[in-house]
Amino acid sequence: MPITRPARRTTAPRRTARRCAAALAVAALLAGVAGCGGDGDRDGGGGTGRDAMRDLAAQKPAWKPCTPSSGAKGGASPPSPLPDGTRWECAFMDVPLDYADPGGDTVELALIRARARDRAKRIGSLVFNFGGPGGSGITALPSLGGEYEALRGRYDLVSFDPRGVGLSDGVECLDRRELDAFFAQDATPDTAAEEKALHGGLGKYAAACEENSGRMLPHVGTENAARDMDLLRQVLGDAKLYYFGISYGTELGGVYAHLFPRRVGRAVLDAVVDPGGTVEQGALGQAAGFQLALGNFAADCVRRGDRCALPGSTPQEIERFVTDLLARLDKRPVQGIGDRELTQTHALGGILQALYSKKYWQYLEQGLDEADGGDGALLLALSDLMNGRDENGDYNNLRAANAAINCVDDRRRFTVEQIRAKLPEFRRVSPVFGDALAWEMLGCGQWPVAGRSDHPEVSAPGAPPILVVGTTGDPATPFAGAAAMASALGKGVGVEVTYRGEGHGAYNGGDACVRRVVNAYLLDGRVPASGTVCP
């Protein structure tokens, strides 16, 4: 059956790109030593820094109601109070720039919290990391605060911007005009000239990061963020770290458990990164995951029949429509927002952004339909969210911090020739996303700081049980990562829970079974049987 464009339906009011961007703001996210170690914890500290670490652990954050300047960059409004009127409080704390020299320079971390409702039964502080790497906890926790009201019964909800991120001492690279050009460049080159342009753009980006943030670049990364979390634990006054990590936050939690196994209290890892995978394996896994999510989106569209705005009577025909649309945009971009066009690269970013959660499939359907008709505003707004660009054209530093953390964590560096040789495999895994995710591996090739290892170390003998929650339809952290993390944490530590569903992250997906299992563990210490399946 030939694919034809259906007539536009008028059964529901058209949403604007601005409204969608507001609705999807949260989806843009979607990854220290106690007494210098002892008791089996692998802190790596030395005796000469004990006094400095003791002083840092004794600091008292000056918690105050969050203001526009402390709530987010760019003068955004402070976070809204929680349903019972509880206001979010913000503060800062100092951590060593270099844990090998804890008496030297320090960097500042931004903190946010909402205090527990039942102070008499309070367990402690529950620290969140929502992923990226590079995502702002200062922004994410208030946006999602209502999801954790049951947990706030007995925990202070706490998050932070890790070193290099957001309101903490951050990584800065290009200015806003340069970033507009950088994110519009062709990320799936088809010719030698396009390959050269992509390589040159990445080199310019790396050089700007070094020029503007060279002091920070060697000291961002997951191991230092884990040490910062242990210092935060002490500053908060907790004997153990209670932790909820999502996406990249699961890797951070695993590294923390490896460094400080006996400092772990209760920890949940949701939407789990495979700790044993290489960069290439991770990229291939994401290509397969997003292709699966696109297929599920297409199948849902077909099931809805005439209520779906996209052409095609089978999922394969809808996927072919998407592929054809992207090919047309590669040759001829369409009108976007203002004087900015929707390029193939922006369209890919918008599609990826919307596939993070089933809640946003409606916007993906609408954006694809409108782009096919020459209006790229909605897909461009989704792409802007992926890149941390707001409606005023200002960027947060999500992508800069993401690059800095990833490139210092992983030692592998790829060349243009190596990427070109890997394209056939990526295309077999994902006809839609394979090229983009293969070329993305070029990003660290010209980075000014060497990477540290091939993969994170998360083995945590001696740690208590840690819940590891995987979602079968997760596009960004494929389901197999949960089993890999549970195994790597060690026998008796990793407790695997499966959510049979869609989206990136199970707890916030709204499934009652997942929430019941996680809440019982965090609030009452009830450890489920490993292999528990929801729903």
Residues recognised as catalytic: 247, 474, 504
* Look-up of token digits 């530590």: 493
- Phi, psi dihedral angles at 252 (to 5 degrees): -60, -45
Q: Cα–Cα distance between 290 and 434 in angstroms, integer?
A: 10
Compute the distance between CA of residue 380 and CA of residue 349 in angstroms, rounded to an integer.
Answer: 8
On whether the CB atoms of residues 489 and 254 are closer than 8 A, the answer is yes
Angle at 148 between CA 144 and CA 152, to 5 degrees: 130
Q: Give dist(CA 447, CA 433) in Å, integer.
A: 24
Pairing of strands 241-246, 155-161: unpaired
Residue carrying the six token digits 């390029």: 343
Which residue's structure tokens are 């740690």?
A: 463
SS3 of 424, please?
helix
Phi-psi category of 26—alpha, beta or left, where left has phi over 0 and alpha has psi -120 to 50? Answer: alpha
Unique residue bearing structure tokens 């992509």? 198
Residue 446: CB atoms within 10 A of its CB come to 17
Q: In angstroms, rounded to a whole number, what is the distance separating the alpha carbons of residues 501 and 485?
A: 19
Kindly report the CA angle at 429 between 198 and 327, in degrees rounded to 5? 50
CB neighbour list of residue 404: distance below 8 Å, 6 or more residues apart: 134, 164, 171, 209, 213, 216, 217, 220
- Collapsed DSSP state (helix, strand, coil) of residue 204: helix
Integer Cα distance of 231 and 225 in angstroms: 10
Displacement of CA 440 from its chain's centroid (Å): 16
- CA–CA gap between residue 218 and residue 450 (Å, rounded): 8
Contact 70, 110 (CB under 8 A): yes
HEC-encoded secondary structure of 413-437: CCCHHHHHHHHHHHHHHCCCCHHHH
